[in-house]
């Protein structure tokens, strides 16, 4: 059917605005176009002429392009909202990761975490846990799912307009100033014009291109950051039980080590368990033998000293008496008695003094033996043996503090981090003596 040329004086004001006015595509402006092929009767001769007449100025193509741009912009807005809502979740997971790193660092280097502030912070993790990651991550998943749904809705909406004639027609009608006043014929012509012009076809194809771009748009990078944080946090302590289990894992080896603080531990630290090349006995045995020999030397030397003192104590009154006789002058008879007394005293003194020479020889030999020991390696071994013997009377804590102060400091720091209750078994071990 031929389309009658539009004339303003024939317009029915109760009907929709004429196509071509504002968002319309066919109307008053058409009669001004120079490329419209008209017959002598003033009518279009066919639809091809109608399409050609509107090809250069088809506003519906622009409507579709703006719709694609609007949906693209709406996606950007949705993504910004997603980032805004996901940021607190990311911050919360970062806080959890920071707490986990604090706990793990404290257990790796406990001596660096015994300040009051750090101990208080660790105690909070030990009693209340580091944090929850599943609840915020589930919230994040819901946000991401919602973004995906919105993204699909935007893309599907454009694809529906592109592929469904009715949807295309309804969209164009919706862009009129008064959509309800448009006649069905006007709406059909609008759709026909859009589908038939090159610019309209390009705009329709652009809807599909934009839909694909929207559907393939990458989720904001905060999504991968949140997922990475959650994955990292899953490998660390979260609950208070997790923290306590990690403490137990650090304390258990220390308990086993403290149990090894035995006489053999002392022998090893002092080098008394070594059997030197060419020697059948360990340094401990050699030290014990040397010390026993030295004790015997000292005992014999003391016996000689005591015996000599005893002899001198016996000789002294005799010598005093002899000196007294030598000082007094007597008559011939008295002199004879004095001489007999003097001889008797001298004889007794000699009998008592005779062993002193032998004792001096023995004492000199003992002194030589002692000097040989003192100048040899046996002297050092005896010193280590004496240290070993003192250690046997000490408790494990004293020995650990003396022979491995670094480890002792670590155990003390773990004790502060763990609190007394969990550390009781190890504390009891430390207080035990070796013998």
DSSP class per residue in 264-324 = HHHHHHHTTT---TT-SS-HHHHHHHHHHHHHHHHHHHHHHHHHHHHHHHHHHHHHHHHHH
Same domain, 36 and 162: no
Residue pointed to by tokens 């993204």? 151
Helices 116-128, 59-108: inter-axial angle, 10-degree rounding: 110
Say if 2 falls within a structural domain: no
Residue pointed to by tokens 């490998």? 235
Rounded-to-integer distance, Cα 265 and Cα 258, Å: 10
- Residue 415's SS3 state is helix
Say if 247 falls within a structural domain: yes
- Contact yes or no for 75/154 (Cβ under 8 A): yes
Q: What is the per-residue DSSP string for 170-217?
A: HHHHHTSSSGGG--HHHHHHHHHHHHHSHHHHHHHHHHHHHHHHHHHP
Same domain, 178 and 205: yes
Say if 388 falls within a structural domain: no
Burial of 292 (0-12, 13-18, 19+ CB in 10 A): exposed
Structure tokens at 248: 């137990």
Burial of 21 (0-12, 13-18, 19+ CB in 10 A): middle
Rounded-to-integer distance, Cα 385 and Cα 381, Å: 6
Tens-digit pLDDT profile for residues 293-340: 999 999 999 999 999 999 999 999 999 888 888 776 554 445 667 788
Tens-digit pLDDT profile for residues 14-23: 333 333 333 3
* CB neighbour list of residue 65: distance below 8 Å, 6 or more residues apart: 203, 206
Tens-digit pLDDT profile for residues 246-303: 999 999 999 999 999 999 999 999 999 998 777 778 999 999 999 999 999 999 999 9
Rounded-to-integer distance, Cα 162 and Cα 65, Å: 12
Helices 222-234, 59-108: inter-axial angle, 10-degree rounding: 30
Same domain, 160 and 232: yes
Same domain, 176 and 94: yes
More confident residue, 316 or 35: 316
Same domain, 23 and 73: no
State percent of the chain over pLDDT 90: 64
Tens-digit pLDDT profile for residues 186-239: 888 888 888 888 888 899 999 999 999 999 999 999 999 999 999 999 999 999
Say if 188 falls within a structural domain: yes
Among 343, 361, 382, give the residue marking a domain's end: 382
Rounded-to-integer distance, Cα 99 and Cα 122, Å: 9
- Contact yes or no for 368/251 (Cβ under 8 A): no
- List the Cα angle 72/76/82 in 5-degree steps: 140
Q: How many structural domains are present in the chain?
A: 4
Say if 300 falls within a structural domain: yes
Same domain, 265 and 327: no
Structure tokens at 233: 């946090």
Same domain, 233 and 324: no
- DSSP H or E stretch at residue 425: helix 420-431
Say if 106 falls within a structural domain: yes
- Contact yes or no for 92/135 (Cβ under 8 A): no
Q: What is the mean pLDDT of the chain?
A: 85
For 109-164, where are the alpha helices, taking DSSP H only? 116-128, 134-163
Torsion of CA 317, 321, 322, 328, to 10 degrees: 160
In this structure, the chain runs to a length of 435
Tens-digit pLDDT profile for residues 96-124: 999 999 999 999 999 999 999 999 999 99
Say if 387 falls within a structural domain: no
Read off the pLDDT of each residue in 30-45 and give the average, rounded to a whole number: 38
Q: What is the pLDDT of residue 83?
A: 97
Say if 277 falls within a structural domain: no
Rounded-to-integer distance, Cα 106 and Cα 243, Å: 11
| Domain hosting residue 22, numbered range | 8-55
Same domain, 103 and 156: yes
Burial of 406 (0-12, 13-18, 19+ CB in 10 A): exposed
Same domain, 228 and 131: yes
Rounded-to-integer distance, Cα 299 and Cα 366, Å: 10
State percent of the chain over pLDDT 70: 84
Same domain, 233 and 247: no
Same domain, 326 and 377: yes
Same domain, 68 and 161: yes
């Amino acid at each position: 059917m031929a389309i009658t040329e539009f004339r303003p004086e024939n317009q029915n004001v109760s009907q929709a605005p004429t196509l071509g006015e504002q968002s319309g595509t066919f109307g008053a402006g058409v009669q001004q176009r120079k490329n419209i092929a008209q017959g002598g009767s003033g009518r279009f001769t066919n639809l091809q002429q109608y399409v050609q007449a509107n090809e250069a100025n088809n506003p519906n193509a622009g409507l579709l392009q703006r719709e694609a741009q609007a949906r693209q912009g709406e996606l950007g807005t949705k993504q910004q909202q997603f980032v805004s809502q996901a940021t607190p979740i990311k911050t919360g997971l970062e806080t959890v990761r920071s707490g986990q790193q604090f706990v793990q660092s404290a257990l790796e280097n406990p001596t660096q975490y015994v300040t009051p502030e750090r101990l208080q912070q660790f105690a909070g993790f030990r009693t209340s846990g580091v944090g929850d990651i599943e609840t915020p991550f589930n919230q994040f998943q819901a946000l991401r799912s919602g973004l995906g749904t919105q993204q699909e809705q935007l893309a599907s909406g454009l694809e529906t307009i592109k592929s469904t004639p009715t949807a295309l027609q309804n969209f164009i009608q919706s862009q009129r100033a008064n959509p309800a006043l448009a006649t069905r014929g006007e709406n059909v012509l609008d759709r026909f014009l859009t589908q038939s012009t090159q610019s309209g076809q390009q705009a329709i194809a652009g809807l599909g291109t934009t839909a694909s771009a929207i559907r393939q748009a990458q989720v904001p990078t905060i999504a991968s950051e949140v997922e990475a944080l959650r994955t990292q946090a899953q490998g660390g302590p979260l609950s208070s039980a997790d923290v306590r289990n990690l403490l137990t894992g650090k304390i258990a080896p220390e308990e086993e080590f403290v149990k090894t603080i035995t006489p053999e531990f002392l022998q090893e630290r002092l080098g008394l368990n070594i059997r030197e090349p060419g020697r059948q006995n360990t340094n401990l045995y050699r030290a014990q033998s040397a010390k026993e020999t030295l004790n015997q030397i000292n005992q014999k030397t003391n016996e000689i000293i005591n015996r000599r003192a005893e002899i001198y104590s016996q000789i002294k009154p005799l010598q005093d008496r002899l000196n007294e006789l030598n000082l007094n002058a007597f008559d011939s008879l008295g002199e004879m008695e004095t001489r007999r007394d003097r001889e008797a005293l001298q004889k007794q003194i000699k009998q008592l003094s005779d062993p002193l020479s032998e004792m001096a020889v023995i004492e000199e030999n003992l002194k030589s033996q002692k000097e040989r020991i003192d100048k040899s390696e046996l002297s050092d071994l005896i010193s280590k043996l004496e240290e070993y013997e003192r250690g046997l009377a000490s408790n494990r804590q004293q020995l650990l503090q003396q022979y491995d102060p670094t480890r002792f400091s670590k155990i003390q720091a773990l004790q502060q981090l763990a609190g007394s209750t969990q550390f009781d078994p190890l504390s009891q071990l430390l207080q035990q003596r070796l013998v």
